[in-house]
Structure 1
Amino acid sequence: MTINAPRGTQDILPGTSEKWQYVEQKLVDLCRRFNYKEIRTPIFEHTELFQRGVGDSTDIVQKEMYTFEDRGGRSITLRPEGTASVVRAYVQNKIYGLPNQPSKYFYMGPMFRYERPQQGRMRQFVQFGIEALGSDDPAIDAEVLSLALNSYRELGLSSLKLVLNSLGDAESREAHRAALVRHFDPHREELCSDCQVRLDQNPLRVLDCKKDKDHPAMKTAPSILEYLNDYSKDYFEKVKSYLDAMGIEYVIDPNLVRGLDYYNHTAFEIMSEAEGFGAITTLSGGGRYTGLVQEVGGPETSGIGFAMSIERLLMALEAEGVELPVDEDLDCYVVALGDEAQVEAVRLADAMRLAGLQVDKDYLGKKMKAQFKSADRLNAKYVLVLGEQELENGVINVKEMATGEQKEIELGSVIEYMKEQMAGGK
């Protein structure tokens, strides 16, 4: 019986995994320049963490989580997103008490959501995200926005749109919430069943409904921007002024929301405008929150963050025709002829690898011609041929595959010679 990977998962094979490694390393380097440190959290957590940190009324908690009972009778959930785990670690390890604040983190790893698999949306997917905890300064909102946008730009994407909104503070949100209920209540029976519940539990999420997005009431819904108090207006203006100072273009969308009560002020999404990318154009989203740290047992602390899917990032690169500069070529392939030469080839290949060279050799007992074919298939830049005669003379034959040029090099100096060649020296 053939056993396939579970639906909604994928194998990332050589030839593709190198692109993942390149993208991940670029993201890590960008975080280093912004002084964000890596945090690694468990792949599974207590279910209560996501009920509190993601929200009982969200589709993620209600419909999409992989939840099970462990042998101790505890309810455990595979993490569906990264923010709640980072905040839990922040509280559990009392990081809020350290002198260097704000605390700035990035994370990268697999997340799990039970939803209908489609291109760029898997049940197991890799998410990269950042969280900055412990500052109410609008300047750090702008910093996070810059980091998010440049995560895409530095990989070569250009067809991008940054969409921005303010959710205001608690006072502004409550005034807007009441206005939304007044507006949508006469149309309650016309809305989908989910939105009828949302109207009582969390009316802001009605604005984000995919089923009712074309309902006439959506077009005339009151905007949060009409209900911002003076503090919230000033905060939003400062965020925009910092973005202007950095030359970052953005579009204001008053219908861009984050459904949970602890989100406030800045909310944003980055979208792909590349032709052929697909109907779902959002690449990443994020926002500022206050109250999430308290939800998991910590002191009142504000934060801001964003998350992106690596799968969707790779889709966007493909849509824009961006070729990643991934070098899949092999530095050297060692061809050995004869038993004694085979022993020396094993020693030499190991020594070259430890010296920093990318090296392979034959392990199937192939003839010389077949070994050269293997070297060619592996895109080896150089083939090093060692036979009994070369071994006796203490030399090795080095062939540059691109030009066909061959040289005899002393065995004792071939490693340094190859390192020079790889560094561009002749």
Structure 2
Amino acid sequence: MIFISLLLTSLVLTCAEDNSQGYCIANEQSCATQLEEEEEKFIFYDVNPPEGFNLRRDVYMRFAIMMSEARKQGRRKNWNLVLPPWYNLYHWKTADVSNEPLPWSMFFDVESLKAFAPVVELHELFSKTKRKHFQIDRLYVLQNFPNAFENGVFDDKWEINTHCDYTASFWGYKNVTVKEIVCVKFQGMISKLWEVVMQSSHKYVMFAHGEIPLHDNYGSKSFWECRKSMKFSKKLIETAKKYISENLHCEGDICSTYISVHWRRQDFARARKRDVPSIKGTSTQIDKAIKKHNSDIVDVFIASDAQYSELIQLENQLKNLGYRVHFYSPTENDLQELRDGGIAIVDQIICTHAAYFIGTHESTFTFRIQEDREILGFESSTTFNRLCPDTGRCEKPSKWTIVQ
């Protein structure tokens, strides 16, 4: 008892020292806040620049599930995931829109994300630190092993790579730098990244090429819990539902008044000619799908990256078959307020609520729509459908059905 009393007295005296000496009063709120911030640690990540919005959403899920599962197991409770701002995406090409880093709240309900995993917006972290210059302690540049199936086996593994050549942009922020860069050859499930993180005691750790680690259990219950938490922002949902109500005459979540099509063109039409149909083939397949599903439907909503001339040709062919064709055409104000990413999400939401959906093979844009339709409870037969090439083999879409 004497030893414990002496120990407590020593602790009280230490905490009572003058703040200029680096200590604080233990019962003061400022001290509690300081200690709490010192205990917090943060994982940053980024994705290969050419990757699109919808692949990045999947990479986020890998990291969010990694964080959530660790906390469920009572581990890494002081670690937080920093949401990388949306910046300079390859497919966002609208002119006259300022190219600035955009927060996740532009597109998602961040409070819903936080209910699943310990995430924080980068601007929130800036405000916490109250520093003009922000430095990440260590950046791990993830790289693929040259031979994934060495000896015919895919093993989870990682190792430090002595060759490291990397130029980081840090989402367009000029006041963000990194103290140390380490290259790591990595192969396997994302939870193995904790082994890399625990190599040091740094507070701010970042991973470049976050697309390299894989899901631990793709399609599992945790996967779908995370996916459900990825609700779109209220503004985007309201915009899409207003369009559906006014143009496609549906007020509910599961509509019966129209079918939707994701018609991927541009790079797919050039590089994947064996997987995509011609314009004529597209209109023929849409017509057959409607006749098979519900011949009373006359409204077709199309989300596409096609050239304007291609859209007009498809629209005219469908009109000749007796259909009304709809596209979401944003106003200049919409483009300024929602940005390219928001416009694409509005397209996805409209596609999600349709009675029947036809997607594009191996497109992440299509995958995200299929996931949202699973969450809403659509029959799989109305969701996992694809546009086939005019001739040749047409592989059926994989069905990743929801796990409750």
Instruction: Provide TM-score, normalisation by structure 2.
Output: 0.24
- When Rg is computed on C-alpha atoms for both structures, the one with the higher figure is 1
Structure with a larger share of its residues in strand: 1
Query: Relative contact order: is structure 1 or structure 2 higher (C-alpha 8 Å, sep ≥ 6)?
Result: 2
